[in-house]
Structure 1
Amino acid sequence: MSVIEIRPDDLTGTATRALIAAHVAAMHDAAPPESTHALGLDELGHPSITVWSAWARGELAGVAALKELESHRGEIKSMRVQDGFRGEGVGRALLRHLIAQAQTRGMTSLWLETGTTREFVAARHLYERAGFIECGPFGDYVADPLSIFMRRLI
């Protein structure tokens, strides 16, 4: 496993922009529009959202974002690991980083939405191993057979 460096990302880098575009495209391939909640570059640039990128071997390995829902609640958005870095701990490192950032910001819970189909099995296992449990829809989400909602107290 390579050393993973996680740093804030301003969304201007070519590699970051390409990974986010690929992420959004993959999410639209996996579910119909009404069940796709991936954020594009414009939405990720909102002041309530902070994006981090993970770098290993001098390459972009993944991205993840934390959205402030309220001062005490955050939502994990746009977690994506480059295909060539899957299985190397990048997702775990990003998730640990998001949890630590949420704690630093005084948040007491983290929430997320992910998919129910086979493309999302690894993500669901990652979240479960980190202590996330299933819950009902939150925020503007509605019940959807293609979505699983999860939360974790911090």
Structure 2
Amino acid sequence: MAFAVTMETALQDDVRAMVEALNAAMAPLHPPEFQFQMTAEEMDGADCTVFIVRDETGAPVGMGCLKQHDAKTGEVKRMWAAPEQRGKGIGASVLAAIIAKAESLGLSELVLETGTSAAFAPAWHLYERAGFAPCGVVLYYPSSDHNRFYRKVLSA
């Protein structure tokens, strides 16, 4: 199934609700001090591009965010697909859009932080299929048993 991935503002009520659902789903997976969530307001910053997937009714069913840290490095943030929509390619579509945008900006690498519990295994597979490789600590994140890091070198 093909999905239309569009760049939108995070400051929409239905997108805010999806951000809240993501936060609620992540809360029990590891301690709060090892969760690095962004609010809808932070996602709407000039250094971010938000990607949304909507279903045939217009309801958002997936999202992701590219946060640009400098002229070289971008970060994949807030990857999410509604539970009932998982396994349909939403994550891969959003991630492809993030990679394409990062390359169009001339970034040379993308990094990301994710969790280490088994609940994150589908995300690890998604990132690895897209060419991300596990790496050491990135950006400002602390080293911990609760966080796993990935890097992808871009062809930009």
Residue in 1 that maps onto 2:94: 94
Unaligned stretches of 5+ in structure 1? none
Q: Larger deviation: 85-94 or 32-41?
A: 32-41
Residue in 1 that maps onto 2:144: 144
**How do residues 36-55 of structure 1 correspond to structure 2 at under 5 angstroms?**
36-55=35-54
**How do residues 49-68 of structure 1 correspond to structure 2 at under 5 angstroms?**
49-58=48-57, 59-68=59-68
Runs ≥4 residues deviating over 4 A = none
Contact 1:27 1:38 in 2 (8 A): no
What is the rounded CA distance, in whole Å, between the counterparts of 2:45 and 2:8 in structure 1?
A: 13
Contact 1:24 1:40 in 2 (8 A): no
Report SS of the residue matched to 2:74. strand
Q: CA deviation at 1:100?
A: 0.5
1:26 paired with 2:60, answer no
Report SS of the residue matched to 1:151. strand
What is the rounded CA distance, in whole Å, between the counterparts of 2:100 and 2:45 in structure 1?
A: 21
What is the rounded CA distance, in whole Å, between the counterparts of 1:31 and 1:43 in structure 2?
A: 22
Contact 2:74 2:111 in 1 (8 A): yes
Report SS of the residue matched to 1:70. coil
Q: CA deviation at 1:22?
A: 0.9
TM-score, normalised to structure 2's length?
0.93
Aligned pairs, number: 153
Residue in 1 that maps onto 2:80: 80
Residue in 1 that maps onto 2:8: 9
What is the rounded CA distance, in whole Å, between the counterparts of 2:66 and 2:87 in structure 1?
A: 22
Q: Larger deviation: 43-52 or 83-92?
A: 43-52
Q: CA deviation at 1:60?
A: 1.3
**Given residue 41 of structure 2, which amino acid in structure 1 is its aligned partner?**
D
Residues 110-139 of structure 1: CA deviation (Å, up to 9, x unaligned): 000000101111001100111111111111
Q: Larger deviation: 98-107 or 54-63?
A: 54-63
Q: CA RMSD in A?
A: 1.1
Q: Percent identity?
A: 33
